[in-house]
Amino acid sequence: MTVRETVNAAKERIGEAALAELFDGARKVTAAKGKKVVVLDLAKDADAMERLAEVVLGPTGNLRAPSARVGKNWLIGFNEDEYAKVFS
């Protein structure tokens, strides 16, 4: 699988108001913060969009880095095991 879109969240400020548009059409969001990993299934879980902001936004209110869309799935933050699953 190849990365279709990357977001340089360190340079491009994306806040809560832009999340619905950014994640439109996404099926799954895997957000990592250290060793903690949260997976939101946007296609099946009706409440996932409500939880999206709390797992993808950092303390400044902007999208956490790194952020990458792979197909219809997103990787937010960095966790070596999760990246290995996608890119191996």
Per-residue model confidence as pLDDT tens for the chain (88 residues): 444 566 666 677 788 888 989 999 999 999 998 789 999 999 999 889 889 999 999 998 999 988 899 999 999 999 999 999 988 8
Q: How far apart are CA 81 and CA 16, in angstroms?
A: 27
Q: Is this model's pTM higher than 0.85 or not?
A: no
Burial class (CB in 10 A: 0-12, 13-18, 19+), 80: exposed
21: its two tokens = 């548009």
Q: How far apart are CA 36 and CA 79, in angstroms?
A: 8
